Amino acid sequence: MTKTFVVAVAAIIAAVGVGTPTLSATRDSVRLGMTLEPPVLDPTASPAAAIKEIVTNNLMEGLTRVSADGSVKPALAESWTVSEDGKTYTFKLRRGVKFHDGSPFSSADVVYSISRAMSPEGGNPGRNLYRAIDKVTAPAPDIAVFTLKNPFFTLPYVLALGDSSIVSEKTVPTNKTNPVGTGPFKFSRWVKGDRVELVKNQDFRDKDKIRLNRATFRFIPDPNAIVNALLAGDLDAFPLGVPTESVERFKKDKRFKVSVGMTEGETIVSINNGKKPFDDVRVRRALSHAVDRRAVIDGVMSGYGVPIGSHFSPLHPAYVDLTGLYPHDPAKAKTLLAEAGYPNGFALTLRLPPPQYARKGGEIIAQQLERVGIQAKLEPLEWAQWLDQVLSRKDYELTIISHVEALDYDRYGRENYYWNYANNKRIAELVVSADQAGSTAQRNAVLQDIQKQLALDAVNVFLFQLPKIGVWNANLVGLWENSPSPSNDLTDVHWTK
């Protein structure tokens, strides 16, 4: 009888299920998946990367934009010029641009948006990005002038980030739940916990180049569910965060394209430099020698991930490969430990936040440390605890974390950052000279000095650049392979058939 019921239930399931098309017939829409749901939809109000992944370049724009190859291109600004002394940037704005609510865009909105981003009351999470700006003025409706305290070479890049989105003063109070921008897509609605829907902005300046009419972002945290949703055709693309274990399977399936690119996430074993015995550079170097990056990448990311030797993205032109500085060498590690006064090793605690790279990576690294006599106790923490204990109170010895912001080397120059890095003043100086460098070559040279200094001091154990593993329908083109800044830019996305 139970059997009869199972059959009956299956029959009902079949009857209701059959006849509903799972593929949309018209190919002017796209359904993308993301692991995390954004808390709000205003990138100027919260640091969550998920906001930028939906909003930046799609709903909201900056004066400039980061393109797929990482270069900075015009967006709301048509062009810009830099004064001789590098302290004045003059942006020529596009005319005739309208916000989604119909109000016209002008230089007044630039002054408002950037001044708000700079002020402590504005609540912008990226306020530190604007450290070099003195003031922004609007001499004409289509001209915005940035006056800087010192030359700041990265300004056009900074203005492309989601934090620098140009918003209208009128809609700021409601942007968190109903974002209004100038981009090629308009906000349609947000079904909390499930999805965000966008529709094409028919008033967009280049609307003929935009080939999608609709885009849906769905939120699926469970790795198994991600794979099933792709296989069942519920999603057209999962651009970031496909479980590495499933990559081989998708590679064999002709329906899908697998893209393995890079994010801006440097995955590192953070060391509390202020705590004994980690204040001794020999101990930190020993840790670097003890860790086998390749084994970590293989074990944690199924081999996907580029090893790094300092805190810097291999995508950047100024990158230097420093992975050879501390090759995996347990014997050398033991010698260094003996020199530092720990011939028999010591015990430490490794505090692990929830991501897989940290939890799985912690187990592998603990084994590797054991081979040089260091006993690592693993302590899994949830996010809130990690932020509280490790980041705020600096109550930790070692932890594993991916620092996902682009060009975040400046953190090594901060006072009181959770690494307690002793040489931070030197880095702070270098950051200033990189900011103020007169040419790209000059600036890149300073950036290389920073990388070398960090590696030399073995501030942290630098593991690998977090990969951007995406899977999408083989007929879908135009999605980013790499992630030079957090965004799922849909401007060029379209179907080939």
Partner 1 sequence: MSAVIVRRLLAFLATLLATSIVVFVVLEVLPGDPAQVMLGVDAEPDAVARLREKLGLERPTTVRYFDWLLGFATGNLGESYTYSVPVLELIVERLAVTVPLALIAMLLTTIIALAAGVFAAAHHNRPGDWGVMLFAQLGIAMPNFWFGILLVLLFAVTLGWFNAGGFPGWEDDALASFQALLLPAVSLAIVQSAILARVTRSSVLDVLREDYVRTARAKGLSKRAALWRHGLRNALIPVVTVMGLQFAFLLSGTIIIENVFYLPGLGRLIFQSISQRDLVVVKDVVMLMVAKVVIINFVIDLLYVVIDPRLRTAR
Tell me which residues touch partner 1 (CB under 8 A).
1-3, 5, 9, 13-14, 16-18, 20, 22, 37, 39-40, 46-48, 120, 123, 125-128, 176-177, 191-195, 218-222, 224-225, 228-229, 231-234, 382-385, 387-389, 391-392, 401, 403, 405, 408, 411
CB of 1 vs partner 1, minimal distance in Å:
5
Nearer to partner 1, 221 or 341 (CB): 221
H-type helices in 86-174, by residue range?
A: 107-118, 155-158
**Beta strands 375-380 and 347-352: pairing type?**
parallel
CB of 34 vs partner 1, minimal distance in Å:
11
DSSP 8-class letter at 147: E
CB of 112 vs partner 1, minimal distance in Å:
20
Nearer to partner 1, 144 or 407 (CB): 407
Nearest to 146 by CA among 63, 100, 88, 228: 88
Contact between 244 and 304 (Cβ < 8 Å): yes
Nearer to partner 1, 142 or 405 (CB): 405
Nearer to partner 1, 67 or 313 (CB): 313
Handedness of CA 116, 122, 123, 128 (dihedral sign): positive
Q: What is the DSSP string of 238-279?
A: E-S---GGGHHHHHH-TTEEEEEEEEEEEEEEEE-TTSTTTT
CB of 233 vs partner 1, minimal distance in Å:
7
CB of 93 vs partner 1, minimal distance in Å:
29
Nearer to partner 1, 265 or 484 (CB): 265
**Residue that the structure tokens 């291999």 belong to:** 314
- How many CB atoms lie under 10 A from the CB of residue 387? 13
CB of 20 vs partner 1, minimal distance in Å:
7
Nearer to partner 1, 31 or 443 (CB): 31
Angstrom distance (rounded) from CA 392 to CA 157: 29
Nearer to partner 1, 124 or 323 (CB): 124
CB of 17 vs partner 1, minimal distance in Å:
3
CB of 285 vs partner 1, minimal distance in Å:
26
CA 350 from centre of chain: 24
CB of 138 vs partner 1, minimal distance in Å:
27
Which region holds residue 314: left if phi is over 0, alpha if psi is between -120 and 50, else beta?
Answer: alpha
Nearer to partner 1, 78 or 382 (CB): 382
Nearer to partner 1, 97 or 220 (CB): 220
- How many CB atoms lie under 10 A from the CB of residue 68? 17
CB of 88 vs partner 1, minimal distance in Å:
28
- Give Rg (Cα) of the chain: 25
Nearer to partner 1, 2 or 202 (CB): 2
Handedness of CA 262, 263, 269, 273 (dihedral sign): positive
| 18 CB burial (10 A radius; 0-12, 13-18, 19+) | exposed
| 392 CB burial (10 A radius; 0-12, 13-18, 19+) | exposed
Grouping H, G, I as helix, E, B as strand and the rest as coil, residue 65 is strand
